């Protein structure tokens, strides 16, 4: 990949002198969906697929950004003096947002850059291509200019830029998973405190299979921000009757005892998902530590049902994928992953069932949706790095 990126840079900008190549991973979340902005726990892992960049620092303030994924858009030119989000700037609003966020934190960028990006995460698949490019950009700025920023800071800067520059009110999970990834480990993260632990993923005789529904989601324009506001409404209502800072503070029993304080039926459903999903995540990690994959899988399935019925962030296509997967012998668990409204499902499948899984889902999906889904048997990788 390093040679590919150097060749791409030469093709676009001419010459390879002084060019450095970097990578940051995408992520898949095993369980704990829409809990990250509700003060709950999440359980993502970084992938070996992600975003690459070939970078050369300039001696002026110009920024020349190019993506090998969007060749027809050509080089998008801007400057450090114009770090504002423009609709026509398209995908470059993500790296520009991180540059803006660095400057907002007092880390002034001394010079511009020529950058070629390339991602092997399918865009709109819910595997965090946006967080990947944000963490990658932060890593590039730190390495190029010697800023004092730990990987955890890069995650927070990425979230800040997506919230305030790109207008998506996302939680911290995606950026944290990309910035803090560790090979063969998932990250059990308490999003209220940012306390975390690495949990080894030893799936003896099983694989993590990501299935792309090919329904592209866009969190900025989707109902994602609505869900966040509805959850906040549920919390506000509960706070009139019980002392809690976040929905993640509550057990299922506490929620059931006080849920009538939430008079809005939709807000009550959103609150229920946030509370129950957080508890499912805690139980799932305990099950994994106890080598009880069967319980882990059942909790994954319950997570999907909750996302379908209570949080309503699934879609018909992802429901077909998950519900079909549940009928296949050897499938331990399957659920929609990521922000929702499209994207991917994540499944844990026994080795001997992987081919049957792919064949069955392809057949059913073609019949019902008219498309063949894409499959990725994924590996858990490390965080950002220079190549």
Residue 115 contacts residue 55 (beta carbons within 8 Å): yes
Q: CA 198 to CA 216: how far, in whole Å?
A: 30
Angle between helices 129-145 and 173-180 (to 10 degrees): 50
Query: What are the two backbone dihedrals, phi and then psi, of residue 169, each rounded to the nearest 5 degrees?
Result: -85, 55
Q: CA 382 to CA 305: how far, in whole Å?
A: 31
- Report the candidate in 98, 31, 37 with the shortest Cα–Cα distance to residue 225: 37
- Is 174 known to be catalytic? yes
Two structure tokens written together for 193: 């405190």
By the 10 Å C-beta count (0-12 exposed, 13-18 middle, 19+ buried), 348 is classed as buried
Q: CA 158 to CA 233: how far, in whole Å?
A: 26
User: How many C-beta atoms surround the C-beta of residue 88 within 10 A?
Assistant: 8
- Report the candidate in 247, 226, 223 with the shortest Cα–Cα distance to residue 236: 247
The residues, ordered by sequence, that sit 6+ positions from 310 with a Cβ below 8 Å of its Cβ are 269, 270, 272, 273, 276
- Choose, from 36, 114, 174, 190, the residue flagged as catalytic: 174
Sequence-ordered strand ranges (E) for the chain:
20-29, 41-42, 44-57, 62-67, 76-79, 113-119, 185-190, 195-200, 206-212, 331-337, 344-350, 374-378, 385-386
Torsion, CA 135, CA 84, CA 118, CA 222, rounded to 10 = 80
Which residue in the block uniquely carries the two structure tokens 């999906």? 365
The residues, ordered by sequence, that sit 6+ positions from 264 with a Cβ below 8 Å of its Cβ are 233, 234, 237
Catalytic (active-site) positions: 174
């Amino acid at each position: 990949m390093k040679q590919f990126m150097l060749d791409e840079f030469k093709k676009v900008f001419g010459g390879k002198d002084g060019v450095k190549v970097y990578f940051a991973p995408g992520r898949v979340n095993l369980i704990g969906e829409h809990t990250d902005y509700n003060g709950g726990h999440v359980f993502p892992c970084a992938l070996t697929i992600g975003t690459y960049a070939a970078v050369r620092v300039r001696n002026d303030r110009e920024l020349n950004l190019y993506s090998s994924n969007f060749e027809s858009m050509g080089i998008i030119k801007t400057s450090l003096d114009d770090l504002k989000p423009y609709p026509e700037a398209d995908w470059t609003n993500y790296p520009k947002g991180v540059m803006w966020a660095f400057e907002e934190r007092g880390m002034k960028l001394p010079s511009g850059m020529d950058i070629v990006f390339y991602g092997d995460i399918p865009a709109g698949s819910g595997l965090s291509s946006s967080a990947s490019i944000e963490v990658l950009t932060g890593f590039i700025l730190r390495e190029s200019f010697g800023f004092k920023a730990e990987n955890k800071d890069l995650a927070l800067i990425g979230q800040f830029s997506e919230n305030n520059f790109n207008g998506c009110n996302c939680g911290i999970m995606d950026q944290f998973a990309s910035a803090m990834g560790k090979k063969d480990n998932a990250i059990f993260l308490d999003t209220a405190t940012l306390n975390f632990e690495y949990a080894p993923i030893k799936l003896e005789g099983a694989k993590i299979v990501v299935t792309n529904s090919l329904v592209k989601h866009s969190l900025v324009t989707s109902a994602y921000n609505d869900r966040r506001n509805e959850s906040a409404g549920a919390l506000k209502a509960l706070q009139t009757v019980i002392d809690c800072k976040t929905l993640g503070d509550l057990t299922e029993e506490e929620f059931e005892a006080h849920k009538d304080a939430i008079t809005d039926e939709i807000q009550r459903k959103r609150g229920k998902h946030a509370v129950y999903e957080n508890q499912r995540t805690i139980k799932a990690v305990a099950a994994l530590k106890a080598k009880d994959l069967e319980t882990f899988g059942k909790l994954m399935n319950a997570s999907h049902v909750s996302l379908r019925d209570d949080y309503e962030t699934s879609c018909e296509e992802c429901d077909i994928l998950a519900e079909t997967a549940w009928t296949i012998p050897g499938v331990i668990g399957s659920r929609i992953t990521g922000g929702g409204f499209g994207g991917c499902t994540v499944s844990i499948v026994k080795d001997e069932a992987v081919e049957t899984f792919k064949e069955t889902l392809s057949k059913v999906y073609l019949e019902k949706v008219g498309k063949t889904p894409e499959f990725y048997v994924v590996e858990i990788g490390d965080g950002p790095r220079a190549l």
